Chain A
Amino acid sequence: MPKLTIDGQEIEVEAGLTVLQACEQAGAEVPRFCFHERLSIAGNCRMCLVEMERAPKPVASCAMPVGEGMVITTNSPAVQKMRKGVMEFLLINHPLDCPICDQGGECDLQDQAVAFGADRSRYEENKRAVKDKYMGPLISTIMTRCIHCTRCVRFAQEIAGVPELGATGRGEHTEVGTYVEKALTSELSGNLIDLCPVGALTSAPYAYHARSWELKKTESIDVMDALGAAIRVDSRGPEVMRIMPRLNEDVNEEWISDKSRFACDGLMKRRLDRPYVRLDGKLQEASWQDAFNAIAAQVSGKAGSKIAAIAGDQVDVETMAAMKDLMAAFGSTNMDCRQDGAALDASNRASYLFNTTVAGIEQADACLIIGSNPRIESPVLNARIRKRYVAGSFPIGVIGEQADLTYAHTNLGAGAETLSDLADGKGAFAEVLNNAERPMLILGAGALARSDSAAILALAHAVADKYGMVTGDWNGFNVLHTAASRVGGMDIGFVAGEGGLNTAGILAGAASGAIETLFLLGADEVDVSKAGKTFVIYQGHHGDRGAHNADVILPGAAYTEKSATYVNLEGRVQQTTQAIFPPGDAREDWTIIRALSDVVGKTLPYNNIEDLRARMIAGNAVFGDLNTVSAASWGAFGTSGATDAAPFTSGVDNFFMTDPISRASETMAKCTETLSNGAEGKTGTDG
């Protein structure tokens, strides 16, 4: 480990670091624009100049690797003068429009100009102006502000894997853009906004809506996909203004997907803000008491077997726990948290987790993707796969749809037959998996949301066993869920109990009349139009598909409006924090069930969320361990049997609209439109 002296202080740092990183470790602040830990080194902003002993000129610390015995000065008058000079050059062509710039108040250039720049400008000539670029409906560009740090170019190429941005022209005529005008085709494009150190790339939906200092910042967890990315909810009064990523090295590093970031305008649209009861065939506004009375009248004296509940994709664990208790009180075991009908085995935790963990992908040395398009099912996880791919020697095989995943892969086949061949050791990829020391497989919703999913699970288990994917400390068996609630629901056991019906059984029962009362907890992706005479109670936050056929609607809270537990696909138990209040009469979901239990005479034994959580922990100890992942033990699961010859498809058709919030979002509607506009806005994942 090289030793160097920084500002007179000796420090020993890891070899391979840059001088800039060493300075940071020594506590010396070095300003920078182009340098970013997760991107390649460009060295083109020159803001990080420092003095190095025996070097004739100042060195760009971001591009200089540390060496033994270096003597670095970051605070001499000469360095201060250099920074002042560089800053003056950067500001030559930068407009003085901070008062109308959305980056104002959270702008690196603004902050560093104050900290390191001169107090006035000597520049009197004309500034250049650059034509704005079109980068799709999410990113608003004011390219005159660009200082050519090329962070966006490097992000698009290295992390997102869509090398569509570049710096064309030279000198004063340099412009960052796509050259041939088109929307950026990445599901991670919103991260460009965070990376841009100036106001050249800003959020289009958020444009001119708020200033960063008037926002209340609440740290929370994303539920738009199963990854459970760390987010910060920025709200003002009753409204969520924007969603930003938070750092979580184990999950999302510092990225979030465009849906996580931009669907938040859907939180203000089509909300259920009061209870409704269907009277004479029409949904009418009602009080909580009337709604509860209507339910009580329906369920009183009914056999438990005629009552059922289905939980949707964004339901928190507390709500499912309370509902499960209420169902038990009714004497019913008809419940399911798997709207898509996947035959996941709740008794075996390893069978439904992403066991390798997201960070663990970086240790794998071969990957088999089955019936999944991770790019649209979980873009940030896909970026992790790409990160591993870019590091080299990472063969990836895909069974399922042909798609642009942003990394090279071999398409092995379309469906179950290929998987079964692979389980028998046939095919070229068998060799690859055999040679791999830490192979992994990713089983997607496209392979599981089918009638033969138990057989597919068994096949995947066989493949995992055959190629040694599960050994000692390595578990390469992974299920990629598309719903934030799924793992939590499995952990709390919100699945058909003994003699109970699963989703398909419940829906069939509703159609035949065997099920007379059906609770839908935010379940909008099941088709209840055939439910005929069944009394449907919809509890959720949006007037989406599920609410349309409901007889009673109970307004609940969205994920930004409650402190609730979600378990991500790795089995990481995380909690959201309430940022704003639910609109109107809407309430936190578990309290609704608790209140209902009183009215129907089956009072649940908890009065506050601590008691409820204690009960959850008593039922399953995993809920006691927040933010960590514990390995699940491997066992037998799946039922071998006949498989369907139909090819695997992705579990997600339209990345931008997968749940009630994103379906209500105007921004997501615009993205969908751009996506369907053919060549210009095509993402490459839609066929």
Chain B
Amino acid sequence: MSTPVDNKPGPFSFSAENVERIKEIVAKYPAGKQASACMPLLDMAQRQNDGWISVPVMDHIAEVLGMIPMQVYEVATFYTMYNLKPVGKHHVQVCTNLPCWLRGSNEIAAACKRVTGAGFGATSEDGMFTMTETECLGACVNAPMMQIGDDFFEDLTAENVETILTTLRNGGTATPGPQNGRHGSEPAGGLTSLKGEGEDA
């Protein structure tokens, strides 16, 4: 990880509400081991700071937890879920691993690019979407899938991807979960077994 050149951040401090939560989080760990709270604090800071973590944010966390700033940088750069560059309003992560790819993730990615105009690693010009190509998120049963913010959108087709993104762009809300009407990870063609009351053997 080289120095983030596009960091132009101002100073950072936690909101009053988060300061209270920090106390709760730190209290979970033995005295003197408050560095264990680094990851939840990074997550909290990312949510407070428009979805990304700047150097001043990490420095502030180091100060709060009595850590060396470098140690916070090491944690933050190790995990891909911490964004070290500014992101758009919606962070769209499209899985392109094997199961999703077999189920058509290329079309999903293409549909995303049609709507947002941004390829992987880029942010749309209107600042609404940041596109990320991600590794397996563990929803292979409902492939292809993508994650927007905290929510999984599954069983995607190019059409419903366009619908979802357009809705979000227009300020609407989209329903997470499978987009083809099935419930959870049940078989796509309806239940195949255990359909009725159990019969006596």
Contacts and interface: CB of A to CB of B under 8 A. Distances in A.
Contact of B2 (A157, A166, A175): A175
Contact of B68 (A157, A169, A173): A157
Contact of A169 (B3, B70, B71, B77): B77
B80 to A, nearest CB: 9
B74 interface: yes
Query: Is the contact region of chain B dominated by helix, strand, or loop, or is it mixed?
Result: helix
Contacts of A180: 3, 55, 73
B74 A163 contact: no
B163 to A, nearest CB: 35
B77 A179 contact: yes
Interface in B1-38: 1-3
Nearest 7 A/B pairs, CB to CB: A168-B77, A166-B70, A168-B1, A163-B68, A179-B73, A169-B1, A181-B3
Nearest to B59: A180
A679 B97 CA distance: 45
B76 to A, nearest CB: 8
Contacts of A131: 2
Nearest to A131: B2
Contacts of A175: 1-2
Interface string A176-217: 011111000000000000000000000000000000000000
Contacts, number: 38
Contacts of B71: 163, 166
Given A169-B78, A179-B77, A180-B55, A163 B1 contact: no
Contacts of A177: 1-2
A170 interface: yes
A168 B2 CA distance: 9
Contact of A164 (B3, B70, B77): B70
Contacts of B74: 166-168
B70 A165 contact: yes
B1 A173 contact: yes
12 contacts: A157-B68, A163-B68, A163-B70, A166-B71, A168-B1, A168-B77, A170-B78, A177-B1, A178-B70, A179-B1, A179-B77, A180-B55
Interface centre among A163, A165, A168, A175, by most chain B C-beta atoms within 10 angstroms, is A168
Interface residues of B, number: 11
A189 to B, nearest CB: 15
A166 B73 CA distance: 8
A179 B70 contact: yes
A165 B68 CA distance: 10
A469 to B, nearest CB: 32
A165 B71 CA distance: 9
Query: Is the contact region of chain A dominated by helix, strand, or loop, or is it mixed?
Result: loop
Given A169-B78, A179-B3, A180-B73, 11 more contacts: A163-B68, A163-B70, A163-B71, A166-B73, A168-B74, A168-B77, A168-B78, A169-B77, A175-B1, A178-B70, A180-B55
Interface in A36-62: none
Interface in A526-554: none
Nearest to B77: A168
A181 B77 CA distance: 15
Contacts of A181: 3
Interface string A433-466: 0000000000000000000000000000000000
B108 to A, nearest CB: 25
Interface centre among A163, A177, A178, A180, by most chain B C-beta atoms within 10 angstroms, is A180
B73 to A, nearest CB: 4
Contacts of B68: 157, 163
B63 to A, nearest CB: 14
Interface string A286-315: 000000000000000000000000000000
A179 B4 CA distance: 8
Nearest to B67: A163
A125 B157 CA distance: 36
Interface string B46-79: 0000000001000000000000101101100110
Interface centre among B2, B70, B78, by most chain A C-beta atoms within 10 angstroms, is B70
Interface centre among A157, A168, A179, A181, by most chain B C-beta atoms within 10 angstroms, is A179
A166 B70 CA distance: 6
A163 B67 CA distance: 10
A279 B1 CA distance: 64
A164 B73 CA distance: 11
B5 to A, nearest CB: 10
Nearest to A153: B70
A148 to B, nearest CB: 12
A176 to B, nearest CB: 10
A157 B68 CA distance: 10
A178 B71 CA distance: 11
A181 B78 CA distance: 18
A164 B78 CA distance: 17
A465 to B, nearest CB: 38
A175 B70 CA distance: 13
Nearest to A143: B2
Contacts of A167: 74
Nearest to B55: A180
Interface in B88-129: none
Nearest to A171: B78
A181 B1 CA distance: 11
A156 to B, nearest CB: 9
A178 B70 CA distance: 7
Interface in A340-394: none
A170 B81 CA distance: 13
Interface centre among A164, A167, A173, A178, by most chain B C-beta atoms within 10 angstroms, is A167
A681 to B, nearest CB: 16
A237 B52 CA distance: 57
Contacts of A170: 77-78
A168 B73 contact: yes
A164 B70 CA distance: 6
A566 to B, nearest CB: 38
Contacts of A179: 1, 3, 55, 70, 73, 77
Interface string A128-163: 000100000000000000000000000001000001
A77 to B, nearest CB: 37
A368 B42 CA distance: 40
B143 to A, nearest CB: 24
Nearest to B74: A166
B20 to A, nearest CB: 30
A245 to B, nearest CB: 26
Contacts of A166: 70-71, 73-74
Contacts of A168: 1, 73-74, 77-78
A164 B71 CA distance: 9
Contacts of A165: 70
B55 to A, nearest CB: 6
Nearest to B7: A180
A618 to B, nearest CB: 56
A167 B1 CA distance: 9
